[in-house]
Amino acid sequence: MFDKLGERLKNIARNLSGKGRLSASQVKESMRDIRRALLEADVNLNVAQDFVSEVENEAVARKIYDSFTPAETIIQIVGEKLIGLIGKAEPLVLDKQPSSILLVGLQGSGKTTTAIKLGIFLKSKGKNPFLIPADVKRPAAFEQLRDMAERENLPYFSERLDNEVKLCKQALSRSVLKRYDTLIFDTAGRLHIDIEMLKQIKQIKETVNPSEILLVADSMTGQDAVNIAQEFENALGITGIILTKMDGDARGGAALSMRKVTGKPIKFIGIGEKVDALEVLHPERLASRILGMGDLKTLQEKAEKAVEKEEVEKFQKKIQEGKLDLEDFLGQIKQLKRIGPLDALLDMFPGGKGLKKMMDEKQMVRTEAIIQSMTPKERQNPSILDSSRRKRIASGSGTSVQDINRLLKEFKMAQKLLKQMKGRGGPAALSSFFR
Ligand SMILES: Nc1nc2c(ncn2[C@@H]2O[C@H](COP(=O)(O)OP(=O)(O)OP(=O)(O)O)[C@@H](O)[C@H]2O)c(=O)[nH]1
Ligand SMILES: [Mg+2]
């Protein structure tokens, strides 16, 4: 997904780069190109228009005409606006005892699959979910949910009733008895939105008083997706969206328009047919996927928020003076670990994989042991670590000389990486991806 859009946006940046200062008409032209790229990706017309004018305003506000790196600035703004468009990741609201989640959506959008995926997700978070097949009309609906739930060892409501309201009521009382804390209702889908379907779901809504009504929307739907979402929103008042089939080769416009048009957050994305293919939405990750690069700027902003300001300054000074030593390094890895969902963050910058490995819990313990076995002098100046010192440290820390060599190599790489992040800043660093 997003391959084409990403390609187009990169081309726009490539055309601009190396141009030095931009004329008003060059900026206008690139805005037109961005707009066209979005429309071709099936982004909703109004959304695309607003997007471009926001980018343009921001470009002017940031004095793009005087800038020496206008292409980088524009792409940076596009990246930020994309993140804004996708919207913040908002967690599930589970505020009742038990809490109910209603999954609604058109036929084949992925409700049943998502019900199972959600069940697995919630279980992994320590919840005790209960699946309810609330589609009593389609003959095979019950069997599909049952088979998948049994395979995944998830409890489900197995009684067969021909009235969904009755069924939901009984499922509710069963859940109290069995102490299930999160109920997932898989409702019936139709090819098109029709009054009968909405009436049914409304009745279920009144019966179970759900904490969440999540629209399960197929991201392959194209331009029509936002209209469908709007109709569900108007009729039911949805609380969030799950976009399925994000692994497909659709153009991705639905994913980019949904939040803006409905005002409702995208909470999860489905990225495959397998039951573990559900991800919490990461707006930054998605945006960098579209632009096809590691977004150093976001990384930096996030990092700076999490780490105490004073420490950041101290650290920056050391980097600038080229005085980063192993002691700081250990502290820094520990702080990086605190920042948040590191996987997503580290994927955002080139060379992040190496650091990710180092932040593995076991690896950290080893790293700490090695560094603690060094003398202060060695920590400040690792270049004095000859083979006899390395041997001593290895036996002192219960590791091997290879472990120490690896640590020093990774330390060097991290030093380089951190220097790049600081020295070249966001825009300049981004520019290297377009050459
Ligand atoms: N590639 C991919 N396929 C998916 C994803 N989610 C669901 N599917 C597939 O989409 C098809 C329809 O999924 P279902 O879960 O049966 O859809 P539904 O909304 O319950 O359909 P009805 O009950 O008929 O309304 C199945 O073949 C799923 O395997 C996804 O994230 N990626
Ligand atoms: Mg189904």
* The predicted structure's pLDDT at residue 206: 96
Q: Give the nearest ligand 1 atom to 216 CA.
A: 19
pLDDT at 304: 52
Taking residues 118-123, what's their average pLDDT? 96
Residue having the nearest C-alpha atom to atom 10 of ligand 1: 110
pLDDT classification of 207: cutoffs 50, 70, 90: very high
Name the average pLDDT for the chain: 82
Highest mean pLDDT among 62-71, 293-302, 333-342: 62-71
Query: Measuring CA to CA, which residue among 279, 230, 283 is closest to residue 255?
Result: 283
Task: Please answer whether residues 114 and 278 qualify as being in contact, where contact means their C-beta atoms are separated by less than 8 angstroms.
Answer: yes
Ligand 1 binding pocket (C-beta < 6 A) is: 105, 107-113, 135, 141, 189, 244-245, 247-248, 270-273, 277
Q: Is the pLDDT of residue 161 over 60?
A: yes
Whether pTM exceeds 0.75: no
On the question of pLDDT at 50 being above 70, the answer is: yes
Atom index in ligand 1 nearest the CA of residue 271 equals 31
Q: What is the mean pLDDT of residues 328-347?
A: 60
Among 4-18, 203-217, 240-254, 406-420, the minimum mean pLDDT is found in 406-420
Asked if the model's pLDDT at residue 212 lies above 90, the reply is yes
399 versus 356: which is more confidently predicted? Answer: 399
Contacts made by residues 167-173, CB under 8 angstroms, sequence distance 24+ = 167/132, 167/134, 167/136, 168/132, 168/134, 168/204, 168/207, 168/208, 169/207, 171/130, 171/132, 171/134, 172/98, 172/100, 172/207, 172/208
Write the pLDDT tens digit of every residue in 264-290. Answer: 999 999 989 999 999 998 888 888 777
φ/ψ of 184, rounded to 5, equals -110, 115
Instruction: Quickly state the pLDDT bin for 249 (edges 50, 70, 90).
Output: confident
**Structure confidence at residue 7 (pLDDT):** 83
**pLDDT range class, residue 407, cuts 50, 70, 90:** confident
Q: What is the mean pLDDT of residues 6-17?
A: 80
Predicted local confidence at residue 24, as pLDDT: 80
Indicate left, alpha or beta for 153 from its phi (over 0: left) and psi (-120 to 50: alpha): left
Among the atoms of ligand 1, which is closest to the Cα of residue 189?
A: 25
- Mind listing the domains of the chain with CATH numbers? 3-86 (1.20.120.140), 99-289 (3.40.50.300), 296-434 (1.10.260.30)
Closest CA to 101 of 240, 234, 277: 240
Q: Best substitution site from 102, 103, 113 to test ligand 1's pocket, by max atoms within 8 Å of Cβ? A: 113
pLDDT of residue 431: 27
Nearest alpha carbon to residue 354 among 314, 399, 294 = 294
d(CA 87, CA 260): 8
Residue 21 CA to residue 431 CA, distance in Å, equals 15
**How buried is 249 (Cβ within 10 angstroms: 0-12 exposed, 13-18 middle, 19+ buried)?**
exposed
Which of 40-49, 208-217, 309-318 is predicted with the least confidence, judged by mean pLDDT?
309-318
Beta bridge partners of 104: 215
Share of the chain above pLDDT 90, in %: 43
pLDDT value, residue 128: 96
The atom number, within ligand 1, closest to the CA of 186 reads 20
Determine the pLDDT at residue 289. 73
* Residue 191 pLDDT grade (very low, low, confident, very high; cuts 50, 70, 90): confident
> Across the chain, which distance is largest between two alpha carbons, in Å?
80
User: pLDDT higher for 259 or 251?
Assistant: 259
User: How many residues are present in the chain?
Assistant: 435
- Residue 176 has a pLDDT of 87
Q: Ligand 1 pocket test: pick from 273, 274, 281 the residue with the most ligand atoms within 8 Å of its Cβ.
A: 273
| Ligand that lies nearest to the alpha carbon of residue 105, given by its number in the listed order | 1
Q: Residue 418 pLDDT more than 50?
A: yes
Residue 245 CA to ligand 1 centre (angstroms) = 8
Average of per-residue pLDDT across 60-68: 71
Query: Three-state SS string across the chain, please?
Result: CCHHHHHHHHHHHHHHCCCCCCCHHHHHHHHHHHHHHHHHCCCCHHHHHHHHHHHHHHHHHCCHHHCCCHHHHHHHHHHHHHHHHHCCCCCCCCCCCCEEEEEECCCCCCHHHHHHHHHHHHHHCCCCEEEEECCCCCCCHHHHHHHHHHHCCCCECCCCCCCHHHHHHHHHHHHHHHCCCEEEEECCCCCCCCHHHHHHHHHHHHHHCCCEEEEEEEHHHCCHHHHHHHHHHHHHCCCEEEEECCCCCCCCHHHHHHHHHHCCCEEEEECCCCCCCEEECCHHHHHHHHHCCCCHHHHHHHHHHHCCHHHHHHHHHHHHCCCCCHHHHHHHHHHHHHCCCHHHHHHCCCCHHHHHHHCCHHHHHHHHHHHHCCCHHHHHCHHHCCHHHHHHHHHHHCCCHHHHHHHHHHHHHHHHHHHHHHHHHHHHHHHHHHC
